Structures are given as structure tokens and as C-alpha cells.
Amino acid sequence: MNTTISARSSARLRNPVLILALHALLSSSCAFKNYRAPITGFQTASNRVILATKSYYELANKVERDHLVDDQLATQETIDPQKLRTVGETFRSEDIAVRLDALGVLSDYGALLLQLATSDAPQDVTTQVTALNTSVGALSDRLTRLCTDCTAANNKFKAGFGAVASAIKPILDTFVRSKIQKGLDSSIQNAEKPISDLTTLLREDLHGLYERRKQAVGQALSDAIRSYNDEVKKGTAASPERLQTLARQVKLAADRVAELPNASPDPALAAMDKAHRALVTFAKNKKSVQTLADLSDAVDAFAVQAQQVGQAIRTLATL
């Protein structure tokens, strides 16, 4: 682990109240309580970024459909209902459902960590273990029926999550039999690679989606500008009402282009992976003021990214 103290961590460690609180926490006879605050923060941020990413997937086809409608409006041509249904099918409904199941695995995993961290009774985590087992099982079942010929992304996702499920299942089957602290440490450490792999898989998936949306909104802006300029070139024959409509389309398209980079879930998922790695480091190493401060810093950064991307996606959805 990197022992360099960050500026934020240094500031925390200079706070006498925090020092006393941390030492009291770390010296507690119930060691599992050490995890409570950072894991609570991890789960809260995870839920935010999961909801944001879910919205991003669900809006996957909207941009290209909107582009078709805007283009037909600008050229005053009829809209083909069949073309509207099929245009820009980046993901089919079944494809999106699989991705949302994968996000559910991350959510249930966070809930399991939270329950483990705040309970010293193994029987109390049964609900969370069942939920995660159900999520993994449901996703594995969906994956067997996923159309891998429809898109290369499906084939890659299917293979990637198969490895994740194989790694997570043994953890769920064994950790309850351990003492709660040992079980928590073991679960966090053993889940490091599968959770990181799942996060990476989602990031790669979303990167391709982001590039498609970037191209679509960029093309929509170019088309809107061209339509406006074509109308202006008519001179006195130009329709003032049509110019106003086209001008609104240019502004809307420009807003979408400007907001799209902020709405990418990738930075939040990267921060999620970093926070999880900090949690693993905390579990692996001797618990200290420094390791807890480093973990808290990573979780705080994750929370900020999750909040920002959530707001950006909500803004983009209204444009």
C-alpha cells in the first residue's frame, strides 16, 4: 500500500477531534465496527451510480430516435413508424435487462458488505446472501438466453460475467461459517478481482455506448445547423416561424453535445473500483488511522463522482 499521506488525509490527521475518534474506533473490541462508516458511504455512492448507469442504459436508444424525428421535422418529411421502432437499437430490451441485472449484483454486494460490517451475528446476513445469490443466479440464467449474434458486446459481456459469477459463488457459500470479522476480511479480499472485473466490463460496455451517443448528438447538431442555414439562404422567402423552430433545435442539440461528456458514468465507475480497492487494502492491512483515512478519502471521492454523474444524466434526460 502507498504510505504517502494525501493532503486531505493529512488535514484529517491534524484534526485532534478526529484523531481521538479514530483511535477510539480502531481500539474498539468490536473490530467489525471499523468498517461501518466507509462501507455505509460506499453503499450509498454505489446506489447512486447504479441508478445513474441504469438511466444511461435505458436512454441508450433515445438519442438516435430523437435524431430521426428532428431530422424529419427539419426536412418536413413523413416519419416511417417501422423505421422509428428499429432505428438506433444500440441495445434491445433483453440486452439492457442483462446489464441492469449486473448492476443489481453490485448493489446487493454493497448491501452484503454493509450488513457484515454492522452485525456480529452471521445469521443476520442471510437476507443479503440470499439476495446476492438470487441476483447472480438470475443474471446467469439471462445470459444463457442472450443473443450473442445480435451484437459483439453481448458475447463479451456473457463471457466476462461467467467468470465473475464463478468467483463470487464460493464466497457466498463459505463466509457465513467464519467469524464475522474474519468473514468480512475474507469476503472483501476474495471478491477483489471479480468485482473489479465486473466494473471494468461495465465500463467497456458503456464506453462503446458513449461513443455511439456522442456521434449521434454530434450529427444531430450538424444537421440542425445545416437546416437552419438552408432556411436562412432563402432570404425574404424564409419562414420566420420555421427559423424559430430550427433555431430552437440548434440550441437543444448544442446543449446535448455540451452535457453528454458530463453524463458518462465511466468516471463514477472508475471511482467505485478505486473505493473498492481501498476497502480491500483496509481489510488486508493492519487497521490504523492512516488506512481508515485513505479508505474514507476514496469513498468520499466516489460519492462526489456518483452525485455529479447522476445530476448530469438527469439534466441530459430533460434535453
pLDDT at residue 27 tops 70: no
pLDDT at residue 307 tops 80: yes
224-236 residue pLDDT tens: 898 899 999 999 9
**Chain position carrying cell 443489481:** 104
Give Cβ neighbours of residue 40 (< 8 Å, ≥ 6 apart).
114, 117, 118
The answer to whether 103 and 54 have CB atoms below 8 angstroms apart is yes
Rounded-to-integer distance, Cα 303 and Cα 87, Å: 36
122-172 residue pLDDT tens: 566 777 777 788 888 888 888 888 887 777 778 878 877 877 787 777 777
pTM over 0.75: no
Residue 89's pLDDT is what? 63
The answer to whether 306 and 48 have CB atoms below 8 angstroms apart is yes
Average pLDDT, the chain: 76
Q: What does the pLDDT average to over 179-186? A: 67
The answer to whether 146 and 98 have CB atoms below 8 angstroms apart is yes
88-132 residue pLDDT tens: 566 777 888 888 888 888 878 777 777 776 665 556 677 777 778
Higher per-residue confidence, 202 vs 88 = 202
